Amino acid sequence: MRTIRLTVRYALCMAVLVIVMHAPTSTTELLGQSLLAQQSQPTPTATTPQARSAVPAITPSPEAKAIQSPSSELANTESQVRPSVIWVTAFDAKGNLLRTETGFFISADGRLATTERAVEGGANAVAKTADGGIYNISGILASSKELDVAVLQADVKPRKLLRFLELNKTGELSVGASVVVIGSALAGNDGSAREMTIAAQHGNDFELRGTTPASAAGSPVVDEAGAVVGVVTSAGEKTIARSSAALASLFSKVTSDTQPRWLASAEGSPTPKPTPKPRIVYAPAPAFPPGVSQGGVSGTGRFRLSFDPNGNVTNIQVVRSTGNPYFDQSAIKTFQQWKSAPGQGGSVTVPVTFQTR
């Protein structure tokens, strides 16, 4: 009986030992198989839908390159032409602002082209460049109402390095040809370069396809090389330009002996007769313009004042500009207040000097 009990106890102990020894081994094997199965699964590659859709965005299409190319050429043409394009502001004999239009230099000595309408009735004008330069325009060298173009002379220092544009005198323009209209940078966005095409030709005129702002009048029309093929004479929904051949023909009439002059001053000033010099009874000095604050800025000019028998100023002629439009305007505004002794009339020339310390 005792032997049977020992045999049963021994069998139970062996059963427990077998469970204890094999249970962990089974769990470990299951865990190892699970990890091995996960590691043996294929790793996702870049051939997912997201990865495939990103490929075209990295490589630009041929169409995109074709669009970028003309923009680069337009920017190069604009940077080449822009320094020669100016803002022309004209004043009447009393110093009142008449109008402002675009123009461009066509020679190193300060000759410039714009529309005839820009300076019609003018007795003084200034040319402004995008870099802040201001040049007094001493007068008109040649003009044509029929062509609506004019060649003016700006006062330029001999050593001043002036950028100017060459005229394309012989270039043949054809309908459909691509050209660029470049306005003054002082006109803001209206002065931006515009790539246009020639829609029609009529003698010395050609029409451009597309609209241009009003400030484009007087702007140069250039070819891809930056040479002038025309000048805009009519802006808006219908843009008309005068050919450079017509401008060159007018420019050829200017000789070394041609003196610039203002037609309004010449027409309004008949041959002077000896008259008694008026006695000035009220002569306030011109005030220094508040808008000009740089130290060392100066300018000297001469102005001719005409008086009526009542002693009032009837006309002010700019004999010689101060070279600064703000100085000229200040002087003219002050001279309008001058008075002479009644009963005499006549005229007097007054020198004026502005100078900061």
11 inside domain:
no
Domain at 210, CATH number: 2.40.10.10
Output the CA torsion sign for 51, 56, 60, 64. negative
Domain at 331, CATH number: 3.30.2420.10
61 inside domain:
no
| pLDDT tens digit sequence for 275-301 | 567 889 899 999 888 767 666 678 899
Residue carrying structure tokens 């028998």: 309
| pLDDT tens digit sequence for 9-56 | 544 445 444 444 444 444 334 334 443 444 444 444 444 444 344 444
294 inside domain:
yes
Q: pTM of the entire structure?
A: 0.57
Rounded to the nearest 10°, the torsion over CA 272, 278, 284, 286 is 10
71 inside domain:
no
222 inside domain:
yes
| Backbone dihedral angles phi then psi of residue 69, each to the nearest 5 degrees | -60, -50
| pLDDT tens digit sequence for 86-124 | 999 999 988 898 999 999 999 999 999 999 999 999 999
Residues 280 and 322 reside in one and the same domain = yes
Neighbours of 232 (CB within 10 A): 25
Residues 243 and 288 reside in one and the same domain = no
pLDDT at residue 298 in the model: 84
> Cβ(210)–Cβ(172) under 8 Å?
no
Residue 160 — pLDDT band, cuts 50, 70, 90?
Answer: low
Tokens of 352: 């004026």
Q: What percent of the chain has pLDDT over 90?
A: 46
User: Which domain, by its residues, includes 209?
Assistant: 178-247
Neighbours of 44 (CB within 10 A): 8
85 inside domain:
no
Domains: count for the chain: 2
- When pLDDT is averaged across residues 316-334 and rounded to a whole number, the result is 90
Residues 232 and 301 reside in one and the same domain = no
**Full DSSP string of 45-58:** -S-SHHHHHHHHHH
Q: Is 274 helix (H, G, I), strand (E, B) or coil?
A: coil
pLDDT at residue 267 in the model: 52
Distance CA 208, CA 203 (A): 14
| pLDDT tens digit sequence for 202-226 | 888 999 998 999 999 999 999 988 9
| Backbone dihedral angles phi then psi of residue 109, each to the nearest 5 degrees | -95, 15
42 inside domain:
no
pLDDT at residue 295 in the model: 64
Selection from 205, 174, 180 nearest residue 194 by Cα: 180
333/171: higher pLDDT: 333
pLDDT at residue 159 in the model: 59
Distance CA 328, CA 322 (A): 6
165 inside domain:
no
Distance CA 69, CA 210 (A): 21
Distance CA 296, CA 18 (A): 110
Selection from 249, 232, 212, 90 nearest residue 148 by Cα: 232
Residues 233 and 295 reside in one and the same domain = no
Question: Burial code of 69-90, b = ≥16 C-beta within 10 A, e = fewer?
Answer: eeeeebeebbeebbbbbbbbbb
Residues 184 and 231 reside in one and the same domain = yes
